[in-house]
């Protein structure tokens, strides 16, 4: 694998997942909520896109993947705020409900009499035209140039919209609620709905990411729900680590950290973290592991050790005895 092909593969694996990384990042940092709902809402975006793509309705795929993701997030928020279910448990319950629904939708999408775990799509929906351009191109086509460019434009537009929401008065209320729920309750009688709406918004981004991935990868795999969490967590860990080193900030609180207070911070941290994580995975799977003739499963141990080391270094470098805000 040459350098350009490796970078291209990293971009193909990174860019469609940027909205999911952004949603997970906002839930974790704005709302202070470790949201496990993403495992269900992401797969829902995949399977509902497969359902409508097979019927030639990509517009409906876009609408229902976003709406479905938002509904998943709102259900988690209601379980947590109204029924007082712990944050981890509420996300798991919603994802468990979503798994059954996702199997049903994927089964209906391909008119199968038995449950389906994974299925390839007949086309790439909105991105089929750009993929055909890559096939016809003799120079840049092999690097998925047109497809990457089109998805990048979509994600940049989305990042601008997310920034407008986060920087608005409503976005600041969400952040205030995440930082101090008691203070937020003083200023608003319905402050608990900030969590519900906030989780709905973050999971809308995750569902949209599933919509993109189903088209770019031309497949819908329910098993991706169990593997998406670690890459998203890694994107937060690596992205915050690198950005804070570059910015030389000693605090990660909302009032002072650049990651949530500037468009550069909120857009660069998930992208940089996810891109570097995918490059690390590619290096392990295509260079290091084949050279030592060992199984690809060992890459998970190596990457886990790398993340643990990164968290240890970060907390030691940027934490203080009086004011500590851990990386995770």
Burial 78-96 (b: 16+ CB within 10 A, else e): bbbbeeebebeebbbbbbe
Segment 276-288, tens digit of pLDDT: 887 777 777 666 6
For range 309-313, the mean pLDDT: 73
Q: Where are the alpha helices (DSSP H) in the chain?
A: 3-14, 18-29, 38-53, 58-81, 87-109, 128-136, 145-166, 169-179, 181-187, 192-217, 224-227, 229-247, 258-261, 263-283, 289-292, 298-318
pLDDT confidence band for 116 (50 / 70 / 90): confident
Query: Which of 59-68, 92-101, 103-112, 301-310 is the least confident region?
Result: 301-310
- pLDDT, residue 281, reads 76
- Torsion angle of alpha carbons 64, 69, 70, 76, nearest 10°? 140
Segment 90-111, tens digit of pLDDT: 999 999 888 889 888 888 878 7
Sequence ranges of the domains in the chain: 3-223, 228-328
pLDDT at position 179 over 60: yes
For range 266-278, the mean pLDDT: 77
**Top-ranked range on mean pLDDT: pick from 49-58, 113-122, 128-137:** 49-58
What does 80-106 look like in DSSP terms, one character per residue? HHTS---HHHHHHHHHHHHHHHHHHHH
Segment 214-267, tens digit of pLDDT: 998 888 888 888 788 888 888 887 887 777 777 664 444 433 344 555 666 666
**In the chain, what percentage of residues exceed pLDDT 70?**
73
pLDDT confidence band for 298 (50 / 70 / 90): low
The CB density around residue 255, as the number of other CB atoms within 10 Å, is: 9
pLDDT at position 210 over 90: yes
């Amino acid at each position: 694998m040459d350098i350009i092909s490796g970078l291209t593969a990293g971009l193909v694996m990174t860019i469609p997942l940027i909205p999911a990384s952004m949603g997970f990042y906002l839930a974790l940092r704005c709302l202070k909520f470790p949201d496990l709902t993403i495992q269900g809402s992401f797969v829902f975006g995949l399977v509902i896109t497969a359902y409508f793509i097979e019927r030639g309705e990509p517009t409906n795929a876009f609408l229902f993947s976003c709406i479905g993701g938002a509904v998943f997030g709102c259900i988690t928020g209601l379980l947590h705020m109204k029924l007082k279910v712990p944050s981890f448990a509420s996300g798991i319950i919603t994802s468990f409900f979503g798994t059954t629904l996702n199997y049903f939708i994927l089964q209906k999408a391909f008119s199968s009499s038995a449950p389906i775990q994974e299925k390839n799509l007949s086309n790439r929906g909105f991105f089929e035209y750009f993929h055909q351009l890559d096939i016809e191109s003799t120079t840049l086509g092999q690097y998925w140039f047109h497809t990457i460019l089109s998805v990048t434009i979509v994600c940049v537009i989305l990042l601008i919209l997310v920034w407008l929401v986060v920087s608005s008065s409503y976005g600041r209320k969400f952040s205030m609620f995440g930082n101090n729920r008691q203070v937020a309750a003083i200023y608003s009688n319905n402050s608990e709905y900030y969590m519900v709406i906030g989780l709905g918004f973050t999971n809308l981004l995750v569902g949209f990411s599933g919509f993109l991935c189903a088209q770019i990868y031309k497949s819908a795999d329910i098993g991706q729900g169990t593997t998406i969490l670690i890459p998203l967590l890694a994107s937060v860990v690596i992205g915050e680590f690198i950005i804070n080193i570059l910015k030389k900030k000693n605090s990660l609180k909302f009032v002072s950290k650049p990651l949530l207070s500037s468009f550069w911070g909120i857009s660069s941290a998930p992208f940089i973290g996810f891109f570097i994580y995918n490059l690390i995975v590619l290096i392990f799977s295509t260079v290091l592991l084949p050279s030592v003739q060992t199984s690809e499963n060992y890459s998970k141990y190596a990457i886990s050790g790398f993340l643990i080391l990164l968290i240890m270094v970060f907390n030691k470098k940027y934490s203080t005895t009086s004011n500590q805000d851990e990386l995770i």
